[in-house]
C-alpha cells in the first residue's frame, strides 16, 4: 500500500564512538584515533531509515529533558520522522551508547557497544496508551529490545488485536515470552541473537550457514507460536523462513567500514517495503542494498541511505 504509515516504538541514544586500530585487551590502555558523537539508538535509526527512504513514519519512545534529547529530535525531524508524541522526561538522562570501533589496516571496522539506557527504560505502557486511539492508522509497527519488555508485549498485543503487522528486532538479546512470539508477524534476529534464543548455532566450521540448523531453529520458535523468521547473517546475507517458504538473499560485497546500524537499516527497510506492498523476496533484496550502504559508511543514523543513494 503506497504511503502506508509505519510506527516505530523504541530507543533513542546519543552514540559516542571511539575509533581505534585495536580494541584494548582486559587491563590494557590503547591510544585511539578519533572520538565522535552522533544520534543513534535502534529505534531512532530504524525510524530515520524509513523517513530517509520517503516513508510516512512516526516514532514513539522516551528522552531526557537535555541537550542530547534535543539533538536526537532534530535528527529525526530532519529525516522526516513524526516526533510529536515522543516523551520528554524530567529528571532523567537521554540514553547513551558507547561504541568502540576497531578499524583494521584494510579499512574494515568491527564494533562493540555498551548502552546506558537512561530514559529508554524509564517509561511504561500507560505513558503511551494514547496509541490505542491511533493504532489502526499504521500498516506495520517495528519494535526492538532497548525499551521495557512490558511495553513491547502490550504494543504487540494491541497490534495483533487490531490486525496490524509487527516486526520485532530482538536486539539486544533478552528472553521472549510465547505470547510475544505469537503476537508478532516477523522476528528478525542476527545469528548471535538467534543462538541465544534457541541454543542453535547456524554457522558451520567452514563459515557457511546450515539450512538445516536454520530450519531447526525456526521449528523451535514456530512451536512457541512464531510465524516467520528473518535472520541477518552479516557477510552471508539474510534468510527468511516461515511454514511455506525458505528464501535466501546474498549480501552485497563492500568494505564494512562500520557495521553499526546495519541491522537497523535492514529491518526497517524490509518493513517499509512490506508496508508498501512488496513480496518478501523483493523487500529482502531492497533491504540488502540499504544495509550494504550503511556498512560502507561511518556512524549509526549518519550512515543510513536516502532513496537516491541506493540508485
Ligand atoms: O544498532 C545500533 C545501535 O545500537 C546504536 O546506534 C546504539 O545506540 C545501540 O542502540
Q: Rounded mean pLDDT of 193-208? A: 97
- 45 Cβ inside 6 Å of ligand 1: yes
pLDDT digits (tens, 9 = 90+) for 151-170: 999 999 999 999 999 999 99
Q: What pLDDT score does 244 carry?
A: 97
pLDDT digits (tens, 9 = 90+) for 221-241: 999 999 999 999 999 999 999
DSSP state of 16: E
Q: What pLDDT score does 3 carry?
A: 83
Q: Rounded mean pLDDT of 113-129? A: 98
The answer to whether the CB of 138 falls within 8 A of the CB of 167 is no
Whole-number Å distance between alpha carbons of 297 and 196: 29
Q: What pLDDT score does 112 carry?
A: 95
Q: Rounded to the nearest whole angstrom, what is the distance from the C-alpha of residue 64 to the centroid of ligand 1?
A: 17
DSSP lists the bridge partners of residue 111 as 101
Instruction: Give the atom of ligand 1 at the shortest distance from the alpha carbon of 300.
Output: 6
pLDDT at 303 over 90: yes
The answer to whether the CB of 189 falls within 8 A of the CB of 144 is no
Q: What pLDDT score does 74 carry?
A: 98
pLDDT at 107 over 90: no
Selecting among 264, 278, 279, 309, the annotated active-site residue is 264
Select from 39, 13, 47 the least CA-distant residue to 300: 39
Cβ neighbourhood burial of 156 (10 Å; 0-12, 13-18, 19+)? buried
Q: What pLDDT score does 12 carry?
A: 98
Give the mean pLDDT of the chain.
97
> CB within 8 A of 126, min separation 6: which ones?
none
Least confident of 3-17, 35-49, 102-116, 119-133: 102-116
Measured by CA distance, the residue closest to atom 10 of ligand 1 is 41
- State the cell numbers at 146: 532497548
Q: Rounded to the nearest whole angstrom, what is the distance from the C-alpha of residue 225 to the centroid of ligand 1?
A: 28
- 87 Cβ inside 6 Å of ligand 1: no
Alpha-carbon distance values, 201 to 33, 168, 217, 221, 243 (Å) = 35, 20, 9, 14, 21
Q: Rounded mean pLDDT of 198-208? A: 96
Q: Rounded to the nearest whole angstrom, what is the distance from the C-alpha of residue 69 to the centroid of ligand 1?
A: 15
- 264 Cβ inside 6 Å of ligand 1: yes
* % residues pLDDT > 90 (the chain): 96
**Mutational test site, ligand 1, from 12, 36, 40, max ligand atoms within 8 Å of CB:** 40
- What distance separates the 2 farthest-apart alpha carbons in the chain? 54
Q: Rounded mean pLDDT of 65-86? A: 98
pLDDT band with cut points at 50, 70 and 90 for residue 99: very high
Phi, psi of 29 (to 5 degrees): -115, 135
Strands (E), 186-251: 186-187, 229-232, 238-241, 246-249
Instruction: Give the atom of ligand 1 at the shortest distance from the alpha carbon of 264.
Output: 1
Parse the chain into domains and list their residue ranges.
Answer: 5-12+41-94+118-310
pLDDT at 2 over 70: no
Residue with more model confidence, 311 or 205 = 205
The answer to whether the CB of 226 falls within 8 A of the CB of 213 is no
Q: Rounded to the nearest whole angstrom, what is the distance from the C-alpha of residue 223 to the centroid of ligand 1?
A: 31
Q: What pLDDT score does 311 carry?
A: 82
Q: Rounded to the nearest whole angstrom, what is the distance from the C-alpha of residue 99 to the centroid of ligand 1?
A: 8
Q: Rounded to the nearest whole angstrom, what is the distance from the C-alpha of residue 261 to the centroid of ligand 1?
A: 6
27: left (phi over 0), alpha (psi -120 to 50) or beta: left
DSSP of 258-287: --TTHHHHHHHHHHHHHHTT--HHHHHHHH
Whole-number Å distance between alpha carbons of 124 and 137: 22
- 113 Cβ inside 6 Å of ligand 1: yes
Least confident of 69-73, 127-131, 299-303, 305-309: 299-303
Q: What pLDDT score does 169 carry?
A: 98
Q: Is 264 one of the annotated active-site residues of the chain?
A: yes
Measured by CA distance, the residue closest to atom 9 of ligand 1 is 41
pTM for the full model? 0.97
Q: What pLDDT score does 243 carry?
A: 97
- 258 Cβ inside 6 Å of ligand 1: no
Termini Cα distance of the chain: 22
- 295 Cβ inside 6 Å of ligand 1: no
In this structure, whether the domain defined by 5-12+41-94+118-310 belongs to CATH 3.40.1190.20 is answered with yes
Select from 92, 111, 90, 109 the least CA-distant residue to 100: 111
Q: What pLDDT score does 217 carry?
A: 98
**Mutational test site, ligand 1, from 62, 94, 99, 117, max ligand atoms within 8 Å of CB:** 99
Whole-number Å distance between alpha carbons of 118 and 97: 10
**Radius of gyration (C-alpha) of the chain in whole angstroms:** 18
Measured by CA distance, the residue closest to atom 1 of ligand 1 is 261
CA torsion angle for 32, 33, 36, 40 (degrees, to 10)? -70
Select from 255, 218, 248, 216 the least CA-distant residue to 232: 248
* % residues pLDDT > 70 (the chain): 99
The answer to whether the CB of 11 falls within 8 A of the CB of 47 is no
pLDDT at 1 over 80: no
Amino acid at each position: 500500500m503506497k504511503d502506508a504509515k509505519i510506527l516505530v516504538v523504541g530507543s533513542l541514544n546519543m552514540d559516542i564512538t571511539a575509533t581505534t586500530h585495536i580494541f584494548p585487551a582486559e587491563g590494557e590502555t590503547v591510544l585511539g584515533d578519533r572520538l565522535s558523537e552522533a544520534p543513534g539508538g535502534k529505534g531512532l535509526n530504524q525510524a530515520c531509515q524509513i523517513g530517509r527512504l520517503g516513508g510516512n513514519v512516526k516514532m514513539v519512545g522516551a528522552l531526557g529533558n537535555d541537550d542530547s534529547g534535543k539533538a536526537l529530535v532534530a535528527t529525526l525531524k530532519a529525516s522526516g520522522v513524526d516526533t510529536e508524541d515522543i516523551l520528554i522526561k524530567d529528571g532523567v538522562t537521554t540514553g547513551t551508547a558507547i561504541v568502540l570501533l576497531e578499524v583494521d589496516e584494510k579499512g574494515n571496522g568491527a564494533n562493540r557497544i555498551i548502552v546506558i539506557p537512561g530514559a529508554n527504560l524509564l517509561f511504561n505502557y500507560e505513558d503511551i496508551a494514547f496509541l490505542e486511539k491511533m493504532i489502526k492508522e499504521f500498516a506495520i509497527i517495528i519494535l526492538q529490545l532497548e525499551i521495557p519488555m512490558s511495553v513491547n508485549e502490550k504494543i504487540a498485543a494491541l497490534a495483533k488485536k487490531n490486525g496490524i503487522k509487527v516486526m520485532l528486532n530482538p536486539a539486544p538479546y533478552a528472553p521472549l515470552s510465547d505470547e510475544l512470539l505469537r503476537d508478532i508477524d516477523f522476528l528478525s534476529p542476527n545469528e548471535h541473537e538467534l543462538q541465544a534464543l534457541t541454543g542453535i548455532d547456524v554457522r558451520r566450521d567452514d563459515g557457511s550457514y546450515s539450512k538445516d540448523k536454520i530450519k531447526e531453529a525456526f521449528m523451535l520458535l514456530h512451536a512457541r507460536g512464531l510465524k516467520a523468521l528473518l535472520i541477518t547473517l552479516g557477510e552471508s546475507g539474510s534468510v527468511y523462513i516461515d511454514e511455506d517458504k525458505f528464501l535466501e538473499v546474498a549480501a552485497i560485497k563492500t568494505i564494512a567500514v562500520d557495521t553499526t546500524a546495519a541491522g537497523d537499516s535492514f529491518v526497517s527497510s524490509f518493513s517499509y517495503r512490506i508496508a508498501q506492498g512488496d513480496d518478501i523476496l523483493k523487500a529482502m533484496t531492497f533491504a540488502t542494498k540499504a544495509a550494504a550502504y550503511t556498512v560502507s559508511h561511518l556512524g549509526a543514523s549518519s550512515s543510513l541511505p536516502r532513496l537516491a543513494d541506493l540508485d
